[in-house]
Amino acid sequence: MDRFTDIGEFGFIDRIAAHAQRNRVLCGIGDDCAVMAAGQERVRLVTVDAMVEGVHFVPQAPPEGVGYKLLAASLSDVAAMGGKPTDAVVAVSASGNCDVGYVERIYNGLFACADRFDVAVVGGDTTRTSGALVLSLTLTGEMARDQVCYRSGAQVGDAVYVSGTLGDAVGGLGVVLGDVDLPDEVRTALLQRHYRPEPRLDLGQALAETRAVTAMIDVSDGVASDLSHICQQSGVSAVIRAAAIPMSRAFVKFCEVSGKEELDLALTGGEDFELLFSVSHKQVDKVEALAEAYSICRIGEIVAGDGSVMIEDGDGKRVLLEELGYDHFGG
């Protein structure tokens, strides 16, 4: 018998991926969203995310934040294809003595996110469980077929970019767990990034319209892990420059006070929900033109290789990143 802890989340996905193929399916398992043909020129996007009490959120988490983040995580997957979100369905499994008011507050947060990003919550399912509270959300989206940004198109010589700053969400988790003494404005900034992540939908759509993006993913497991997904699916490697990794002042303060190593945490901390993407070197200007309206930062290059990610220090020395983020079953 193989256990999940033996094969890991990604080992399990490999086993079931072969069953997802049909003609209308342009991309099944293995990208941020599944992509299905919807006529000649459009596609439909579908993604699902689940959150389990005690695994994805701690009991002291504000329920509105849990609900907001449940939808925001899926919105980020639609953003990572360059798409526009449309509708959501939500399933909740709760034990018989679970506080209804608590679950209602989770839904309040979810609806606040849905209103903000113009998503309709069109249905769902409620079931009873003997254990922890489980929430699952399925989101659909749509976009032009010839603009979809898959993970698999990165080419040697492409520039690698990331939006926003990295590490804030994991800093926010440190604040929730209460193990650091920080100024109020730092706490507030990090908690905001942890519970109210900003899916980069406008940026994702703007990037898709440039047609200069060769591969894109959202930062859910940490840049080290997420960039390795792009590299493995594109058959290339990547080099990122340590000095170019964008970090917020709040995150740097958090690391200083908690004694954490900034670069390690920025590269392996998950759930920043920023966009990580490669751009054809001939078309970098089209993406640089977006830098006036959006926070984007060039962090490295795609090089020939076997799917690995290297980090380059100030002296040009390159080190392979072995620590690749967070696998849900710890495999």
- Residues at the interface with Mg ion (CB under 5 A): 32, 77, 218, 220
- For 302, phi and psi rounded to 5 degrees? -90, 135
User: Which C-beta is closer to Mg ion: that of 53 or that of 221?
Assistant: 221
Minimum distance of Mg ion from residue 273's CB (angstroms): 8
Q: Identify whether the C-beta of residue 7 lies closer than 8 Å to the C-beta of residue 52.
A: no
Q: Identify whether the C-beta of residue 49 lies closer than 8 Å to the C-beta of residue 136.
A: yes
Minimum distance of Mg ion from residue 80's CB (angstroms): 5
Minimum distance of Mg ion from residue 94's CB (angstroms): 26
User: Which C-beta is closer to Mg ion: that of 31 or that of 64?
Assistant: 31
Minimum distance of Mg ion from residue 269's CB (angstroms): 15
The first and second tokens of residue 280, run together, are 């054809």
User: Which C-beta is closer to Mg ion: that of 262 or that of 327?
Assistant: 327
User: Which C-beta is closer to Mg ion: that of 64 or that of 218?
Assistant: 218
Minimum distance of Mg ion from residue 81's CB (angstroms): 9
Q: Identify whether the C-beta of residue 214 lies closer than 8 Å to the C-beta of residue 279.
A: yes
Which residues touch 58 (CB under 8 Å, ≥6 apart)? 176, 177
Q: 134, 144, 34, 29: which is closest to 83 by C-alpha?
A: 144
User: Which C-beta is closer to Mg ion: that of 220 or that of 308?
Assistant: 220
CA distance 46 to 35: 7
Minimum distance of Mg ion from residue 180's CB (angstroms): 28
Q: Identify whether the C-beta of residue 228 lies closer than 8 Å to the C-beta of residue 309.
A: yes
The first and second tokens of residue 33, run together, are 């969203």
User: Which C-beta is closer to Mg ion: that of 63 or that of 167?
Assistant: 167
Angle, alpha carbons 76-275-158 (nearest 5°): 145
User: Which C-beta is closer to Mg ion: that of 81 or that of 175?
Assistant: 81
Q: Identify whether the C-beta of residue 268 lies closer than 8 Å to the C-beta of residue 323.
A: yes
Minimum distance of Mg ion from residue 10's CB (angstroms): 13
User: Which C-beta is closer to Mg ion: that of 48 or that of 310?
Assistant: 48
CA distance 189 to 209: 31
Minimum distance of Mg ion from residue 198's CB (angstroms): 15
Q: Residue 255 to residues 22, 190, 203, 248, 252: CA-CA distances in angstroms?
A: 47, 12, 28, 11, 5
C-alpha dihedral, 101 to 102 to 106 to 112, nearest 10°: 50
